Amino acid sequence: MTEPVKVALLGCGTVGSEVTRILLDDPTELAARVGAPVEIAGIAVRRPDKHPELPQHLVTSDATALIDSDVDIIVELIGGIDPVRGWLLSALRKGKSVVTGNKALLSEHASELAEAADESGADLYYEAAVAGAIPLLRPLRESLAGDRITRVMGIVNGTTNFILSAMDSTGAGYAETLDEATRLGYAEADPTADVDGYDAASKAAILASLSFHSRVTAADVHREGIAGISSSDITAARSLGRTVKLLSICERVTEADGSESVSARVHPVMMPKSHQLAGVGGAFNAVYVEAEAAGQLMFYGQGAGGAPTASAVLGDLVSAARNKVAGGRGPRESAHAALPVRPMGQTPTRYHVSLDVADEPGVLAQVAQVFATHGVSISTVRQRDRRNTASLVVVTHQAPDAALRSTVDEIGELDVVREVVSVMRVEGEAE
Ligand SMILES: NC(=O)c1ccc[n+]([C@@H]2O[C@H](COP(=O)([O-])OP(=O)(O)OC[C@H]3O[C@@H](n4cnc5c(N)ncnc54)[C@H](O)[C@@H]3O)[C@@H](O)[C@H]2O)c1
Ligand SMILES: N[C@@H](CCO)C(=O)O
Ligand code: NA
């Protein structure tokens, strides 16, 4: 009889409870897939008295003792950086494999965790950390390991996607829609990590690191959230056949001297309703990947929730357990390219600018002159007359983000500009 693979579960909340349920549900099927029984050695929780539903002989409040016992794999579903970081580093250094969904930890400390795993020959898997159930990190790390990824662009935060989709369909403002999302349980009581883009930025750091074989941390990712999106932004987008999405965008950028860098950013964009990502509604996630040989790929599904996220955790656990049974480790990640991160100001972007201007001779020329002064080329201009005012909508070609930013600031200062109605970056359409 093959020795069982012993697993320590840390945390039994939304995701941990679903992982436990699935593990306890059909151990025979799991053993057949792994090639050995998968045995839960213990479940560490903060308050054992709060978990009468769990087999009591497995429950402990002493996570460190459980990690230090003779377990083979640690499944961490507590979240946050401390004390988890120290626990996982020590486990990896002792050769115990780690499966986690902890994007906060991975987006800051992937480097030291991966080194510890490499030194001892343990596995470090974290498919659940980005886009929940969607198989995305394994395709980036393994299936596309022989290709050159040029771009990864996606909706990786369900809460903000739910809010933006609802604003688009109801015409309601941001604050009102956030309240509704909280009431329905889509937004957490403290929605900061989601609405200010921290969650999406952590995920962008992980995606950029794996896609470009480099180390990108959350601090390297330019981040803007959705709190500044108004119903006028949504109306402006809708009147042009576009919608507003919060995207995580990771790109390989070629510099003038031929060297390469990485751009990693999270911000709201206007995109055509015809784009595949524009049709992703509610709390769903979708990620669009471009690679030189593969071309365009699209990944879509549930990015959060107990059971969907548990699916990704279980997939990683089965892989780590199979590797243990085979006596080796799975494919490692590589960071050899060590590409630098390009600052946002130098990143090429496109802007949509919607203005209310005085309806008098020379106004268009004045506005156009500001774009020209900053070296920003205009792609389209549309003008619509109203009483004494004209509505002017300008979409630019690509220019460095800093040049676009200063253009918009200066335009807002012109006497003939009555109101800057909406300013947003444009993605997903031909130049
Ligand atoms: N919920 C999701 O949809 C989702 C999706 C993707 C990734 N994740 C990630 O999965 C992880 C877990 O998320 P969750 O939603 O299940 O969180 P949760 O808050 O529901 O569960 C965390 C659990 O850890 C326990 N815990 C806290 N400190 C502990 C300690 N010192 N020892 C033992 N247990 C402790 C808490 O009591 C709680 O039960 C996080 O890293 C999160 O980012 C969650
Ligand atoms: N808060 C995240 C959960 C998944 O990481 C979201 O809204 O998508
Ligand atoms: Na995933």
Q: Whose CA is nearest to atom 19 of ligand 1?
A: 13
What is the C-alpha to C-alpha distance for residues 264 and 251, in angstroms, rounded to an integer?
7
Mutational pocket test of ligand 2: of 15, 136, 159, 245, the residue with most ligand atoms within 8 Å of the beta carbon: 159
How much is the pLDDT for 291? 98
Cα–Cα–Cα angle for 33, 121, 1, rounded to 5 degrees: 35
pTM: 0.97
Which of 128, 152, 132 is CA-nearest to residue 140?
A: 152
CA 101 – ligand 1 centroid, Å:
9
- Pairing between strand 38-44 and 59-60? parallel
Q: Residue 301 in 3-state DSSP?
A: strand
Give yes or no for a contact between 237 and 163, defined as CB atoms under 8 angstroms apart. Answer: no
**Phi, psi dihedral angles at 323 (to 5 degrees):** -60, -40
Instruction: Among the bound ligands, name the one nearest to the CA of residue 206.
Output: 3
Instruction: Among the bound ligands, name the one nearest to the CA of residue 9.
Output: 1
CA 161 – ligand 2 centroid, Å:
10
List 96, 103, 203, 245, catalytic entry = 203
Alpha-helical (H) ranges within 212-249 are 231-239
Output the ligand 1 site: residues, CB below 6 A. Answer: 10-16, 44-46, 63, 77-79, 101-103, 128-129, 132, 304-305, 309
**Phi, psi dihedral angles at 260 (to 5 degrees):** -115, 150
What is the C-alpha to C-alpha distance for residues 419 and 329, in angstroms, rounded to an integer?
60
Q: Whose CA is nearest to atom 3 of ligand 2?
A: 304
What is the C-alpha to C-alpha distance for residues 193 and 196, in angstroms, rounded to an integer?
6
> If you count them, how many residues does the chain have?
431
Q: Is the CB of 123 under 6 A from ligand 2?
A: no
User: Within 10 A of 50 (CB to CB), how many other CB atoms are there?
Assistant: 11
Q: Whose CA is nearest to atom 40 of ligand 1?
A: 79
96 is catalytic: no
Low-confidence ranges of the chain (pLDDT < 50): none
Instruction: Among the bound ligands, name the one nearest to the CA of residue 11.
Output: 1
Nearest ligand 2 atom to the CA of 304 is: 4
CA 5 – ligand 3 centroid, Å:
24
CA 81 – ligand 3 centroid, Å:
20
CA 80 – ligand 2 centroid, Å:
14
Q: Residue 345 in 3-state DSSP?
A: helix
Mutational pocket test of ligand 1: of 43, 45, 75, 78, the residue with most ligand atoms within 8 Å of the beta carbon: 78
Q: Which residue has the tokens 């009581």?
A: 189
How much is the pLDDT for 1? 61
Q: Report ipTM for this prediction.
A: 0.98
CA 251 – ligand 3 centroid, Å:
19
Alpha-helical (H) ranges within 171-271 are 174-183, 192-195, 198-211, 231-239
Type of residue found at 281: G
Give the tokens for residue 253: 């950028």
What is the C-alpha to C-alpha distance for residues 142 and 149, in angstroms, rounded to an integer?
12
Q: Is the CB of 199 under 6 A from ligand 2?
A: yes
What is the C-alpha to C-alpha distance for residues 157 and 142, in angstroms, rounded to an integer?
24
Q: Is the CB of 131 under 6 A from ligand 2?
A: no
